[in-house]
Amino acid sequence: MKYTILVNEGPYQHQAADSAIQFVRAALEKGHEIFRVFFYHDGVNNGTRLTVPPADDRLIQKAWTELAEKHGLDLVICIAAAQRRGIMDADEAKRQGLDANNIAPGFRISGLGQLVEGGIQADRLVVFGD
């Protein structure tokens, strides 16, 4: 089956991102396809490479990046939600005249149309949120 995943909560504050990672891993192990993972609301904070959790805690952003590298996952951060919350790639930072970017490897920033397209293209859209 082909899945699109929607993550609506940030890492560590809420378990939604952890559950989404576990769901994606389990689906891939069973031979299912992940069409796209879309990050919305505070979910966009999954895509900053600047998180430094304590040494004994899990590394949520790295888990996403590893999944993207290993399985070619399409990790898409909503641009409107990202701009509100300060998640920037190099191009967007330049466009906004900002002096830094923070997007993690494996993520890309795009529009809400990518979420709607994910709903249309996938057999199931699964929402992880509050």
Q: Which residues are catalytic?
A: 78
Residue type, 63: A
Question: Is the separation of the CB atoms in 26 and 126 below 8 Å?
Answer: no
| CB of 119 vs another protein, minimal distance in Å | 4
Q: Which is nearer to another protein, 7 or 63 (CB)?
A: 7
| CB of 54 vs another protein, minimal distance in Å | 27
Chain residues binding another protein by CB under 8 A are: 6, 8, 40-41, 80-81, 84, 111-113, 115-117, 119-120, 125, 127, 129-130
User: Can you list the positions of beta strands (E) in 14-74?
Assistant: 33-39
Sheet holding 2-7, edge to edge: 107-110, 75-78, 33-39, 2-7, 124-128
Q: Which is nearer to another protein, 35 or 65 (CB)?
A: 35
Sort strands 75-78 and 124-128 into parallel, antiparallel or unpaired: unpaired
Q: Which is nearer to another protein, 9 or 63 (CB)?
A: 9
